[in-house]
């Protein structure tokens, strides 16, 4: 075998281009055309592919290096002629060409396992537990000290605990308008943080017990593939190699970092924002999506002065505007400012604050804030696993392509959750995890969910499932709509929150429910009925003739269905068609 150089390719007119990410390390087995570094110019980012397959002998650049055409990036001990990885029959079009892997011998391993699950978030632990229930010997690998991944440790669960605290404060304040006045809350941040951690601890501890009951072996560390059947686990400087018969990748995602935002303790992300070190004072939330608005809800209730900036023209991009409007109206009355269609162009750390520059069309401005929360989305971890060494195709964004059985292009390797595409939701991952585990155990399972509900745990909450008006109009999908305003709901009036709305979308040809949305308190609890109706192929009469308890918010779903069917008596609505 010969050692060959991988050089920086032709970059056009660019020289001294910044290396923003090194994707490999010495000792890795790399495939032909597998990305080895990511470069960034002022125009775009690009991956530099390997021009030869084999074992990396030396990586000559680091993050922050600057390179030009012809500079040597790495040296590779070239492998024997490569062969394509085995690709299963897929029901989805590949997002990236399948890489090739070396035809040479497999790396040596310390021991063998039947099924390895990489990642112990909701998708990973669900897959591991389901596989164990089906008789497989399972090893569950995760970098976190406790099971549960981002969701349980620093995501869904701790944020919902804090949102509950925020709602208690807001509800107490709201009652002053109705003759019940409480003293101003005294917030002990340390005690509140401890309670939040206790909630997390109960759930993660419960997962540890479930793993022991099922005899699922938990291995701590970061996993990186060395070949189609061998993975190396690194933990506290120690490595071990496991040879697996089958593998389920459930590696999740990471918060996106903005390159122009400085490294400063006053800059928060969705993880550090949960630590509640102090009242953040003047807090700018960059990103008006679900995560940013949920954390803004928490900190506003705890006394912070909130500003939100969003690049697109609306909050929660992609959500129907009639669902967003009640939330936006409430937030504008409580927050310092909401800047839509506005771009953050620079952030400068000063001793007395963070200077932030904005651009909205031709208008520019600068403001100072005590803290920033960056919540502009998440990026999949697909490119951090060395998946190319296993022959697994990873696209330019870091997603892994799978079929309806969650198989990647390598037949014995499956992938689930955030790494396989949107929506990045825990409940999607857990259902995909069950499918992957069942297929690994020999069952004929498929992921064929018609809808995946989405919830923003703001105040008011917003939830939707299935076809949205925004999506239907963009794609030319025919639909009919019926809505029930919560101003006519006795239950919502008794809660002092009449701004809500429940709507359903129907297929004009079949009259079946194809989508729905809710805005208002507990919308996240109500959307499950809409999702079930879509899965069951229900029409308006199926929902309307189901007796709902009164007075409840759940009956607003039935009333929306009755509005479509023409049988609603709680409002006077003109007849929508002849015969109704």
On whether both 61 and 11 belong to a single domain, the answer is: yes
pLDDT bin (cut points 50, 70, 90) of residue 566 is very high
Last residue of a domain, one of 376, 391, 418: 376
First to last CA, the chain: 80
**167 and 35 assigned to the same domain:** no
Residue 86: inside a domain: no
pLDDT of residue 51: 85
Same domain membership, residue 329 and residue 420: no
Comparing 101-105, 263-267, 354-358, 568-572, the range with the smallest average pLDDT is 101-105
Question: With 50 as the cut, is the pLDDT of residue 180 above it?
Answer: yes
Structure tokens given for 253? 């995602």
Same domain, 179 and 214: yes
Q: At residue 317, does pLDDT exceed 60?
A: yes
Q: Among residues 164, 427, 541, 550, which one is catalytic? A: 550
User: Looking at 334-338, 454-458, 515-519, 566-570, which range is the least confident one?
Assistant: 566-570
| pTM of the entire predicted model | 0.80
Q: Which residues span the domain enclosing 33?
A: 3-79
Q: Is the pLDDT reported for residue 85 higher than 60?
A: no
What is the model's pLDDT at position 13? 64
* Residue 44 is assigned to a structural domain of this protein: yes
Mark whether 436 and 478 lie in a shared domain: no
Q: Cα separations (Å) of 46 from 6, 18, 199, 385, 564?
A: 16, 11, 42, 19, 51
Same domain (yes/no): 127, 250:
yes
pLDDT for residue 162? 96
Question: What band does 64 get if pLDDT is binned at 50, 70 and 90?
Answer: confident
Whether 91 maps to a domain, the answer reads no
Task: Tell me if residue 164 is catalytic.
Answer: no
| Residues 123 and 248 occupy one common structural domain | yes
The reported pLDDT for the residue numbered 68 is 87
Helical H segments across 372-466, by residue range: 426-440
The yes-or-no verdict on residue 93 having pLDDT over 50 is no
Q: Residue 577 domain-assigned? A: no
pLDDT on residue 63? 85
For the chain, the 3-state helix, strand and coil shares in percent, each to the nearest 5, are: 30, 30, 40
Assess if residue 578 is contained within a domain.
Answer: no
Check residue 104 and give its pLDDT.
58
Are 192 and 123 members of one domain? yes
The rounded distance, in Å, linking the Cα atoms of 85 and 135 is 28
Q: Are residues 45 and 116 in the same domain?
A: no
Tell whether the model's pLDDT for residue 94 goes beyond 70.
no
Q: What is the mean pLDDT of the chain?
A: 91
Give the DSSP H/E element, type plus range, for residue 202: helix 189-213
Q: Tens digits of per-residue pLDDT, 247-303?
A: 999 999 999 999 999 999 999 999 999 998 888 999 999 999 999 999 999 999 999
Length of the chain (residues)? 580
């Amino acid at each position: 075998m010969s050692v060959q150089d991988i050089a920086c390719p032709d970059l056009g007119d660019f020289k001294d281009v910044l290396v923003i990410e090194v994707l490999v390390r010495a000792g890795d087995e790399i495939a032909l055309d597998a990305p080895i570094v990511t470069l960034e110019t002022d125009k775009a980012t690009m991956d530099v592919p390997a021009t030869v397959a084999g074992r990396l002998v030396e990586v000559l650049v680091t993050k922050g290096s600057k390179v030009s055409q012809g500079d040597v990036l790495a040296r590779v001990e070239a492998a024997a002629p490569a062969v394509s990885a085995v690709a299963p029959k897929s029901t989805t079009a590949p997002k990236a060409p399948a890489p090739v892997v070396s035809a040479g011998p497999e790396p040596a391993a310390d021991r063998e396992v039947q099924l390895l699950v990489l990642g112990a978030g909701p998708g990973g632990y669900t897959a591991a537990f389901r596989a164990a229930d089906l008789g497989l010997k399972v090893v569950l690998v995760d970098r976190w000290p406790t099971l549960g991944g981002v969701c349980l440790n620093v995501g869904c669960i701790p944020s919902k605990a804090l949102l509950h605290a925020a709602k208690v404060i807001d509800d107490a304040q709201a009652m002053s308008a109705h003759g019940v006045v409480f003293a101003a809350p005294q917030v002990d941040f340390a005690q509140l943080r401890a309670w939040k951690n206790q909630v997390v601890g109960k759930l993660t501890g419960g997962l540890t017990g479930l793993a022991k009951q099922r005899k699922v072996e938990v291995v701590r560390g970061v996993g990186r593939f060395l070949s189609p059947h061998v993975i190396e686990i690194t933990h506290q400087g120690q490595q071990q190699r496991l040879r697996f018969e089958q593998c389920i990748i459930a590696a999740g995602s990471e918060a996106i970092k903005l390159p122009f935002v400085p490294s400063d303790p006053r800059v928060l992300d969705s993880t550090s924002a949960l630590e509640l070190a102090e009242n953040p004072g003047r807090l700018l939330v960059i990103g008006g999506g679900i995560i940013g608005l949920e954390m803004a809800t928490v900190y506003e209730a705890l006394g912070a002065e909130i500003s939100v900036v969003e690049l697109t023209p609306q909050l929660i991009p992609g959500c129907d505007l009639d669902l967003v409007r009640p939330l936006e109206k409430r937030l504008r009355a409580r927050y310092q400012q909401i800047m839509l269609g506005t771009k953050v162009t620079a952030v400068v750390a000063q001793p007395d604050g963070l200077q932030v520059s904005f651009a909205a069309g031709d208008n520019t401005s600068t403001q100072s804030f005590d803290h920033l929360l960056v919540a502009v989305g998440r990026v999949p971890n697909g490119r951090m696993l060395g998946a190319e060494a296993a022959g697994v195709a990873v696209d330019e964004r870091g997603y892994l392509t799978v079929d309806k059985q969650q198989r990647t292009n390598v037949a014995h390797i499956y992938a689930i959750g955030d790494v396989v595409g949107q929506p990045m939701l825990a409940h999607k991952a857990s259902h995909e995890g069950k499918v992957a585990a069942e297929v690994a155990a020999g069952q004929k399972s498929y992921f064929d969910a018609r809808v995946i509900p989405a919830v923003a745990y703001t105040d008011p909450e917003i939830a939707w499932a299935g076809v949205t008006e925004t999506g239907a109009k963009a794609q030319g999908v025919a639909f009919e709509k019926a809505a029930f305003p919560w101003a006519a709901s006795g239950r919502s009036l008794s809660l002092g929150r009449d701004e809500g709305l429940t709507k359903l979308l129907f297929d004009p040809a079949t009259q079946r429910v194809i989508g729905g949305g809710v805005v208002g308190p507990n919308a996240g609890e109500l959307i499950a009925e809409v999702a079930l109706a879509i899965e069951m192929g229900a029409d308006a009469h199926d929902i309307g003739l189901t007796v709902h308890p009164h007075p409840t918010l759940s009956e607003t779903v039935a009333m929306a269905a009755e509005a479509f069917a023409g049988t609603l008596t709680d409002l006077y609505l003109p007849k929508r068609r002849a015969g109704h």
